[in-house]
Structure 1
Amino acid sequence: MTDAVVVGSGPNGLAAALTLARAGLRVEVFGAHERIGGGLRTEALFDSEVLHDICAAVHPMTPVSPFMRSLGLEAHGVALLHSPAAYGHPLQG
């Protein structure tokens, strides 16, 4: 039996589902995309060897987000990497 239903499997939907599950509720998550994650997905868009973070606006906030810090990601083997280049542009100039 489900106690709560979350529609949307992006960052906010997953955070809501996790919060409800931590409170002891049985949660189901539904999303329109065939893969969960919304803006947290990584996919090979143009070349199978180049991965892209779709809508990657959430990732940079991880170190300062109270919710993300509450997950204890390091204890689960998640290490945050920081690129020496803040951004890149594929065009000359």
Structure 2
Amino acid sequence: MPDAVVIGAGPNGLVAANLLADAGWSVEVLEEQPEPGGAVRHDRGAHPDFVSDLCSSFYPLAAASPVVSGLHLERHGLRWSHAPHVVAHPRSDGRCAVLDRRVDVTADSLEAFAPGDGAAWRRLHDMW
């Protein structure tokens, strides 16, 4: 019998299982789907050259997580992809809020929606 059973092979379950295994526990991971990954999966069903996210695809906190970086997943093939415009929300009036990797681009985008939000974004960015 394993020391721990982790239900679900999504990102959180796999990180938990890895941390327990690194601590010397025997771990069994149970997953309903045919492959691990949870919401972090993709396929090439539309075309072999086109990668489509099956669920979610935006993980800024995972990329910055000391726990995830401590697993050294790059040694096992992890490669982070970073789009310049990370998230965009187009509006029917033609405006588009943009979250960009560059602080000024995001701040300017937010400022266009509500005066003061650009400065608030810069403060939040500086804090984190």
Please state if 1:44 is matched with 2:44: yes
CA apart distance, 1:30: 0.7
Q: Which AA in structure 1 matches 2:20?
A: L
Q: How many residues align?
A: 90
Secondary structure at the aligned position of 1:2 is classed as coil
Please state if 1:55 is matched with 2:55: yes
Q: Which structure: larger Rg? A: 2
Rate the CA distance shift 1:32–1:58 in 2: closer, same or farther, 3 A: farther
Secondary structure at the aligned position of 1:14 is classed as helix
Higher relative contact order (CA 8 A, sep 6+): 1
Runs in 1 of length 4+ with deviation above 6 angstroms?
none
Structure 1 distance, partners of 2:18, 2:45, is 29
Q: Which AA in structure 2 matches 1:15?
A: V
Residues 1-93 of structure 1: pairs in structure 2 closer than 5 A: 1-57=1-57, 59-87=59-87
Secondary structure at the aligned position of 2:24 is classed as coil
Q: TM-score, normalised by structure 2?
A: 0.56
Greater share of helix:
2
CA apart distance, 1:84: 2.8
Query: Mind listing any 5+ residue stretches in structure 2 that lack a counterpart?
Result: 95-128
Structure 2 distance, partners of 1:9, 1:77, is 18
Q: TM-score, normalised by structure 1?
A: 0.72
Structure 1 distance, partners of 2:7, 2:77, is 28
Query: Mind listing any 5+ residue stretches in structure 1 that lack a counterpart?
Result: none
Rate the CA distance shift 1:78–1:15 in 2: closer, same or farther, 3 A: closer
Greater share of strand:
2
Q: Which AA in structure 2 matches 1:14?
A: L
Q: Matched residues, percent identical?
A: 41
Secondary structure at the aligned position of 1:79 is classed as coil
